Structures are given as structure tokens and as C-alpha cells.
Amino acid sequence: MSSSSHKIRVMVVDDSALMRKLISDILTKDPELEVVTTAMDGLFALKKIPQVRPDVITLDLDMPRMDGLTALRYIVHDYQIPVVLVSSLTTTGGNLTLQGLALGAVDFVTKPQDAISAHIHEIARELIWKVKIASRVSLKKVRRSAMAAAPVKPVAPVMKRTPRGALKKVVAIGISTGGPNAISYMLPLLPEEFPAGILIVQHMPEGFTEMFANRLNQTCQLTVKEARDGDRLLPGTVLIAPGNKHLKVTRIHGQGVAVLSSSPPVNGHRPSADVLFDSVSQEFGPNVIGVIMTGMGEDGARGLGRIKAAGGYTLAQDEETCVVFGMPKVAMEMGNVNEVSSLDNLADRLEALVAGEEVTMHVERRA
């Protein structure tokens, strides 16, 4: 961009002077970004916002005086400024991050440990990319997505039953930016007796996916867990791809089994929705329902086409309910989507499609 007036204006909020400098240095290396100010805690940030009017705020969550979650509430509701969380890779940091997303943060990145960290270049690339995405996101959609997920109440803390019956279908879901809230809204709407196994690729760093799965398991009638090598694909069970691992499936004695892989990233992602979609289309063909949901980029768009070509059925989340209408849009433009559904209706559509003949009927009618 030729003029700084057209740059994306960023405020960096962190209680560590080292982190403020490191994050600022990362962002200012991109010609489209400008760090207009920094703040050492939430109170300073709230005082500076009216003066500098940033387009995006990067926000640490663990800070003195006013913590990040409290500041986030004010930023989202009073100033309507998109926020990218910068989170430490700890259990506490992970849980705070998931709470922050539920409060309306657009996305998050893992906090770099220092300027010579082995992954600093990956983190820098991801931070720049997510700040740019946040600057273009409709905060109204982010807040609506967060509010939709919030009312879901935890299920009673009882032992979940071992799934019974045959696996009727396999549901494979690819999702990215805006995904945690969308999944947190949709999955609790599915019944315990859901006769399909569900596989999910959510673009999320290593370490966070297990916390995310555990959190979902507390709010769903379904059993939700981070996938492990050898996990069986069972009705009423959800397997979430671990961060930094591709998720595939294979058949052993007719039983679907999860296989994790450290092969190179696809479309810049590991896990990749395309890898999952390719795998289920090969192993389960017409018995697959592929779903592509909110997210930036094109991961999953081609794999969705392979599910459709194998006789499976494909769904895309609609533009109105997507925080970022990227992945579904690309899949639709490629002609790889049988049906478009709002987030509100997606659980009902999955129940209906898994129930039986409707899958074949829809494919024939829309082919």
C-alpha cells in the first residue's frame, strides 16, 4: 500500500514490554500493517482506544489490573473493534482463549516465547494473516456467532452410554475462523442417539484442540474427544483432529479407524480439511456427508468435490451465518456443494440426511 492512511491500524496490548515490542516488530514488517500504539493492560488500552481508533487489537489475556477477558467485553461491545487474542500455550491460557472466543474475539494465535523461538516465523506469518482477516470481518457476525453458542448449557455430568447400533453415515466437517463458536452451537443440538460418526478438522494450534474437545464434551449429548491413532469411528461420537496432525480414516475388519499423520501441511494447514475429505471419500464413498463451514481460504473445497464425486452428499454453511465466508464460497464456486444451510438449520439437516433415503434423493435431484 502506498500510503500509511490506508494501512490497517493495530493496537498491541500485553503486560510484557518484551512481548509488546516483539509483536509490534512482527506486525510492522508487513507493509499493510501499522502499529499505532501499545498498552500494558486493559485499562490503558480502553483509555487509548478513543484517541487512536485502531482497526484491530491484539490482546493478551493474562494481565494485571484489568485482565484481557474484562477488557475484551468492553472492546467488543462498546467499541466494536475486532480482536485477535495472543494466548500462552497452557491449560489456563487455553481455557481463557476459548472463553475469549465465546465473548466475541475473532481468532487467536499462540504467544511467541521469544524472538529466537524455533517457530517464530510460523507464528509471525499466522499473526499477520489473522490480523488482516480480522480487519475485514463483520464484527456483527462474530458477536452473533458468540451469542448463539453462549446459551448452550452443560449436559448433566453422567456417564455417557457406549454407542450402540451400526454406523449409518460418516459426517466429515472442515471449519476455520469462527469455528469454535459455530461448532459449540451446532453439536449440542444433535441427539445422543445420532447414528453417524463425526470427524472434524478445526484449524487450531497443537495443545488447544484437546481443551476444545473436552469443553464440547461437557456441553454435548454426543461423546467428543481429540482423535488418537486407532480410535474407532462410532455412532454418536465426535473425533476432532489434533493440532499439527492430519486426520485420516481407514477400515480394519470393516470398522472405521482414525489414523493421524505428520505429513506436510496442505493448503498451509495441518490438520487439513482436504486430507480428511479425501480419506473419507475413498473409504466410505456414498456413505459420507461432507460439511464445509466458516473460514478463510480454500481448505476443504476440493476435497468436498471428491466426496460428491464418490456419491456422498455435501453441505456448506451459508454466507449470512459464516463469520468468514471463504471456504464455503470457494467450494460453491467449484460446484462441489449439494446444499447450502444456515448454521441454525445445520443440525436438523444432518439428522434428516443421516436418517436415510433423503441423501440419495437429494443427490439425484441436484446432480
Q: Of 14, 55, 203, 231, which one is the catalytic site residue? A: 203
- The residue among 329, 326, 325, 334 whose CA lies nearest residue 303 is 334
Is 318 designated active site? Answer: no
Among positive and negative, which fits the CA dihedral 364, 194, 260, 326? positive
Could you say which of 176, 184, 279, 341 is catalytic?
A: 176
End-to-end Cα spacing for the chain: 44
Instruction: Tell me the three state secondary structure of residue 200.
Output: strand
Q: Is 36 left (phi over 0), alpha (psi -120 to 50) or beta?
A: alpha
Which spans in the chain are helix H? 17-28, 42-52, 68-74, 91-103, 120-136, 139-149, 179-186, 208-219, 273-284, 301-309, 327-333, 343-354, 358-366
Whether 87 is catalytic is no
Residue 162: count of CB within 10 angstroms of its CB: 9
- The C-alpha atoms of residue 291 and residue 232 are separated, in whole angstroms, by 21
Residue 152 vs residues 102, 188, 189, 295: alpha-carbon distances, Å: 11, 7, 9, 22
Tell me, yes or no, if 299 is annotated catalytic. yes
For 150, the grid coordinates are 453462549
Active-site option among 299, 318, 341, 362: 299
Active-site annotation, residues:
176, 203, 299
